[in-house]
Amino acid sequence: IILFLASVSLGKIYVPVEESGFRLPELSDLKPLSQDFLFTLGNASSKLDNIQNMQYRGKVYLGTPPQEFKVIFDTGSSWLWVTSEDCEKCHDTKNSFSLQDSSSYVPLDLYKSLQYGTGFAEGVISLERAGLGDNPTVFAENQYFVLIQKDKDFENMKADGILGLGFKQLSEGKLPLVENLKRQGIIDQAVFSVFLSDNGFGDKDHTNPSSMVIIGGSDTETYGKNESTRYVTAFETTGYWSVRLSKIQIGQKEVVKASTIAIIDTGTSLLLGPSYEVKEIYSQIDKDFECQTSSGFLICSCGFFTSIDDFPLLNFTLENYSFSLTPRQYMLKQGSQCQLLLGSLGEQSIWILGDVFIRAYYTIFDMENSQIGFVGSINKDTTGNNNFNNGNAIIIIIGGVVFISLLGVLATKLINKYCNRRGENPVSYIHLQPTQSYQRL
């Protein structure tokens, strides 16, 4: 384990995280995994831990005196929650919150239920001091969070809870931490940016630079290529970091699609899309290469006769900007096989562009102007250079809970309302739609 010391410089809070090993799951292990983050504050930068391109976890502090938690940083939800030390039916965590040990804890009279695709969490909506970093010097006062009394089906989430980085529409208007930090004048602007390093799915012990989340600003000079930042509108009313998806291409072939929305989600490791559109991409690749489908994922031969570099570019057009992924970015090479890091969402008519996409593009989430900026990441194009001993393709799925950490009913209605207003097909959330509910104590 390597620990990095936190420091404060020019209004920036540098936050360290641990580096540790993690076993890559095989097809038979396919379950949602947690994501580990390290982050930053102010106009700030801070290191992120990259556990085999799979988990990113960072520190949050709650209470007086501060109690430390390692949580998932997730742009697919907006609630902050951690487990209570009194919880007898919660997933295993290293840290849980002791309300008796905090002089600033304020319970409210609302009980919150969060129903996820493969599990749920429920507890008391509360107010508390919340800080970020390894040795936090600044805190947001009166931060809403849920103190979890019970959860289920989070066995594979290697974190104490979740820090949502979505809009307040996903938390019923209660300010998420980033917006609260801005309102209290702790950060200059409600902007954060994400750089995810590529360690070759564990092939490299460390990366330079390390993964980074900056809360309060961005640093394209350090984490981006020498190119202009391309901004696209984010549909804030949906609650998600959702953008217009104009076109998809695999090589020179345009994919026939019904989807019009893509969600940029740090809580998902893969690229995920509607089954029909994903199958069309598979078909285009399969007709030119020797491939087979295993457990719903396409695996192709890329050994002696075929190189990973022979596969086509995968291109997503967001608004009027084209963003390409090379085969080394959207495939995982193991021995003489290459697996697409692309999966199906079934009948849902949206795309989720997760860590596979974010590793390729340094991403700026601008709450101030409801937009997302993309600039090519400084990551070298080496994702496909992995060699593993097992014979099975490795599937990597990381979600705060499932593919999107929180798909709320409210947000579903908002996305549908937005699409209907523009005369487009509404988003169809069929199997992964969770519910949220309040109950008076």
**9: Cβ contacts below 8 Å, ≥ 6 apart:** none
pLDDT at 54: 55
Residues 145-167, mean pLDDT to the nearest whole number = 90
pLDDT at 185: 92
pLDDT at 157: 79
pLDDT at 132: 82
- Over 80: is that where the pLDDT of 45 sits? no
Distance CA 57, CA 73 (A): 7
Q: 29 catalytic, yes or no?
A: no
160-169, 264-273, 287-296, 376-385 — which is least confidently predicted?
A: 376-385
DSSP state letters, 278-312: HHHHHHHHHTTS-EEEETTEEEEE-SSS--GGGSP
What pTM value is reported for the model? 0.81
Tokens of 180: 């609260």
Choice among 36, 49, 74, 366 that is catalytic: 74
Q: Cβ of 132: how many Cβ atoms within 10 Å? A: 30
pLDDT in tens, 362-408: 999 999 999 999 999 998 765 444 443 333 434 433 333 333 344 43
Distance CA 27, CA 119 (A): 20
Q: Which fold has domain 35-193?
A: Cathepsin D, subunit A; domain 1 (2.40.70)
List Cα–Cα distances, 201 to 23, 73, 197, 249, 356, in angstroms: 10, 20, 10, 26, 11
Sheet of 331-334, strands arranged across:
291-294, 297-301, 337-340, 331-334
Tokens 């090993």 found at: 21
- Over 80: is that where the pLDDT of 135 sits? no
Q: 265 catalytic, yes or no?
A: yes
pLDDT at 423: 53
- Over 70: is that where the pLDDT of 292 sits? yes
The mean of the pLDDT values for the chain is: 77
Distance CA 330, CA 278 (A): 13
Instruction: Identify the residue with better confidence: 230 or 4.
Output: 230
pLDDT in tens, 235-278: 999 999 999 999 999 999 999 999 999 999 988 888 999 999 99
Q: Which of 40-44, 175-179, 425-429 has the highest mean pLDDT?
A: 175-179
pLDDT in tens, 69-125: 988 888 988 999 999 999 988 998 889 999 999 999 999 989 999 976 567 899 999
Choice among 36, 151, 198, 265 that is catalytic: 265
Confidence of residue 418 (pLDDT cuts 50, 70, 90): low
Distance CA 101, CA 106 (A): 12
Residues 280-308, mean pLDDT to the nearest whole number = 93
* Percent of the chain whose predicted confidence (pLDDT) is above 90: 53
Residues 32-61, mean pLDDT to the nearest whole number = 51
